[in-house]
Amino acid sequence: MADTHIICVSGTGIERRQSLGALITPALAEQARADTNAWIKSLRRVPYGGLTMRNRFRYRDDSLWWFTELYLQKMRQLDGAVLTVLALEHAQADDAPARLIIEGADATTAAAALAFGAAHGVPTDIRGGAGAPPRMFWSGAQVGVTAALSRARQITARALGAGRTQPAPSAIAAFVHTAFWRGATDPDGGQESYIGPVLDALARTAPDAVSLVGIGPRQNFTSRRWWDAMATDHDAPAIRPIESLAPWAALQGSMALWRTRHALADAIVAGEGIRDAAAFRGCDLWPVLSRELRGVAQVQWPWSARAMDEAGAALDALECHTAITYAEAGGWGRAVVLEARRRGVRSVGLQHGFIYRHWLNYLHEPDEMLANGDDAGFPAPDQTLLFDHYAEQHLRSAGAFPATRLAVTGSPRLDDLVARIARLTDADRQATREAVGVVEAGQHLVVLTAKFTEVQEMLPALIDAVRARPGICLAIKAHPAENADVYTPYIDGLANVALAPADADLARLLAAADALVTRNSTVAVDGLVLGLPALVIGLPNNLSPFVDAGVMLGAGDQTVGNALERLLYDRETRTRLKTAAREFVEQYGLRARGTAAEETAAIILTMGPH
């Protein structure tokens, strides 16, 4: 939205021009996220001929609502519309424009701006930008095309002699994303990037009990191309691609739904209550909502039905009694759990990352967990195994999960991090400090861990604060998914700010640091366990609850320098933070267990069929 500009024109013709992005404060973005979640959730109750959306649209005996909400959140178009309305409300309160001009807006922002103008009686002109809305035709067609191409891949693989033609039965099926599998040439060896330690623990205890089912192509979504569905996989022999377990005949139901996707798109926008559901704060956002609902029917539902067919066929082929997924809250995970439930197969969800409070995937109302007619309710795994009691509390309160379906087994990743740090010597720490630019005795090392896209607006204030304090050395640990060069214009020529090497080991950096700075990174949560104090900038954000609890320090643009000084030099502040962090860690069981992978595997192995 930074490229979109709002021109508020007064009654006398005076114009005030400002970036739409400049109007969006962190607090406004926070409100937009919560408002959008509430709007999306409300749609499940919209009436369609005497049925709600949740009951009206189904595949077999299950509601397609569980996939509808995921699409509406993932596409972020409703978020954009809500954010535009809230931003324009602020512009109106400040300038009381007689007319609005919106320049460089995309289709969603333009539609929301026009809706705002109509609702408030302010003539609104759209200039430039506002390209045609994204078309769903190819995306929807692609679901069927890739279904056929991926079967061609398996025919090719068998012709080349790759894999078995008939799968051996397994007690446990672990569904893993092949894009996140590290090959045998990787320094860490062939291992699943997220739950590898758990899979290793299962293999040590019951070597022949687990089959790995690979879902998705080898390429991750950022580099995936349409023809990747045809590519054969020869570097991950431990994984059976799900297509090899789900022949074309198994997809007849989802392909039938795919062929009716356009009729379903017409139906979902034709309910007697859906038109009124497009209102947000008095603004008619129907152009945005109707487009997204059509996308749900044309793209999400056919894909979801196909995933259900494939998951069901894999479970049948492997004759397993337990299914594991670490994406239990996403589209693939929900498909796996739905099909496991249908067959009486036990399902296990493994936490693989921090669960943010506004992540819609884990937000459920009590009624969603309950059966509704033939619909058995939200596909919650039989057991969701969690890192700590903080996550458990969130899922029970915000997700309406029954306590009996949750268990805390610890974080294998945290276990590994703490163990690696424990092996480092003082000489290792000193070498790391020197490598990132600490050259003077007594100089404090502060590590910035954040995505550039999230911290960019706060970066100038942070850099200015460090520039004015030569006793601080700031080392920037670029996010693995971003190019570190984006930081160069901000730090060029500064003696006490440097980029950590791209291959810098996080454990070594944390062991050498005196403090952390971040906006949303969960490394700050690891810092609580390590006794490393953290400064959170750009509030409110995902770490706001930790600042509110007094275990992390928070700062705005105008106070970041003062906050850094308190964090590093004020004994009272440091003592208070460390004491609060220690109590917080104990309260929620955040501490590394050292046995998380083994505890997780033990629970999985004790689960039998329903």
Residue range 508-549, pLDDT digits in tens: 999 999 999 999 999 999 999 999 999 999 999 999 999 999
Closest CA to 367 of 24, 44, 597: 44
Q: Are 533 and 516 in contact (CB under 8 A)?
A: yes
Local confidence band at 164 (pLDDT 50, 70, 90 cut-offs): very low
What number is the average pLDDT over the span 552-576? 93
- From its phi and psi, is residue 120 left (phi > 0), alpha (psi between -120 and 50) or beta? alpha
Does residue 181 sit in helix, strand or coil? strand
Statement: residue 214 has pLDDT above 80: yes
Helix (H) or strand (E) holding 74: helix 65-75
The SS3 of residue 284 is strand
Q: What is the DSSP letter of 608?
A: -
Bridge partners, residue 190, by sequence: none
Distance CA 586, CA 327 (A): 28
pLDDT digits (tens, 9 = 90+) for 433-473: 999 999 888 899 999 999 999 999 899 999 999 999 999 99
Lowest pLDDT segment from 7-16, 44-53, 186-195, 561-570:
186-195
pLDDT higher than 50, residue 235: no
- Comparing CA positions, the residue from 188, 313, 163 lying closest to residue 253 is 313
Instruction: Give dist(CA 382, CA 20) in Å, integer.
Output: 45
Can you give the pLDDT at residue 193?
Answer: 60
Check whether the bond before 187 is cis (ω within 30° of 0). Answer: no
Q: Which pLDDT does position 610 carry in this prediction?
A: 65
Task: Average the pLDDT over 420-427 and give the result.
Answer: 97
pLDDT at 504: 84
pLDDT of residue 373: 82
**Among the listed residues 362, 380, 331, the one whose alpha carbon sits nearest the alpha carbon of residue 75:** 331
Q: Which of 18-27, 216-225, 421-430, 590-599 has the lowest mean pLDDT?
A: 216-225
Alpha carbon distance 209, 230 (integer Å): 30
Confidence class for position 138, pLDDT limits 50, 70, 90: low
Q: Contact, 100 vs 112, CB < 8 A?
A: no
Give the separation between CA 515 and CA 39, rounded to whole angstroms.
39
Residue-by-residue DSSP string for 453-465 = HHHTTTHHHHHHH
Query: Closest Cα partner for 108 from 84, 126, 88?
Result: 84
For 359-487, where are the alpha helices, taking DSSP H only?
A: 366-369, 389-397, 412-422, 426-435, 452-455, 459-467
- Diameter of the chain measured on Cα atoms: 79
User: In sequence order, what are the residues at sequence separation of 6 or more whose Cβ sits closer than 8 angstroms to the Cβ of residue 9?
Assistant: 15, 97, 98, 99, 100, 101
The confidence band for 369, taking pLDDT boundaries of 50, 70 and 90, is very high
HSE of 85 in the Cβ direction (CA atoms, 13 Å)?
Answer: 27
> What residues are paired with 129 via a beta bridge?
105
The whole-angstrom separation of Cα 80 and Cα 87 is 10
| DSSP letters spanning 339-377 | HHHHHT-EEEEE--S---TT-GGG---HHHHS-BTTB--
pLDDT tier, 154 (very low <50, low <70, confident <90, very high otherwise): low
Per-residue pLDDT tens over the stretch 292-332: 999 999 999 999 999 999 999 999 999 999 999 998 999 99
The neighbouring-strand residues paired with 175 are: 213, 325
Percent of the chain at pLDDT > 70 equals 88
Q: Which of 37, 207, 232 is nearest to 605 (CA)?
A: 207
Top pLDDT among 121 and 162 is at: 121
The strand pair at 47-48 and 51-52 is best described as antiparallel
Q: How confident is the model at residue 2 (pLDDT cuts 50, 70, 90)?
A: low
User: What are the helix and strand counts (H, E) for the chain?
Assistant: 27, 25
> Helices in 439-551 by DSSP H: which ranges?
452-455, 459-467, 488-491, 506-512, 523-530, 544-548
Query: How many Å apart are CA 105 and CA 214, to the nearest integer?
Result: 40
Distance (Å, whole) CA 393 – CA 400: 10
The structure's pTM equals 0.90
Distances (CA, A) of 178 to 214, 218, 239, 317, 522: 5, 5, 8, 19, 24
Question: Tokens representing 569?
Answer: 């030099």
14/3 Cα distance (integer angstroms): 22
Q: Over 80: is that where the pLDDT of 234 sits?
A: no
- Residues whose CB is less than 8 angstroms from the CB of residue 316 and which lie 6 or more positions away in sequence, other chains included: 343
Better-predicted residue by pLDDT, 241 or 187? 241
Q: In whole numbers, what is the pLDDT of the chain averaged over residues?
A: 89
Range in 112-121, 157-166, 209-218, 395-404 with the lowest mean pLDDT: 157-166
Report whether pLDDT(574) > 60.
Answer: yes
Among the listed ranges 3-7, 47-51, 177-181, 246-250, which one has the minimum average pLDDT value?
Answer: 177-181
Q: Which of 507, 557, 513 is nearest to 534 (CA)?
A: 513
What's the average model confidence in pLDDT over 82-91? Answer: 97
- Residue 186 confidence (pLDDT): 44
How much is the pLDDT for 104?
94
Quote the pLDDT of residue 556: 83
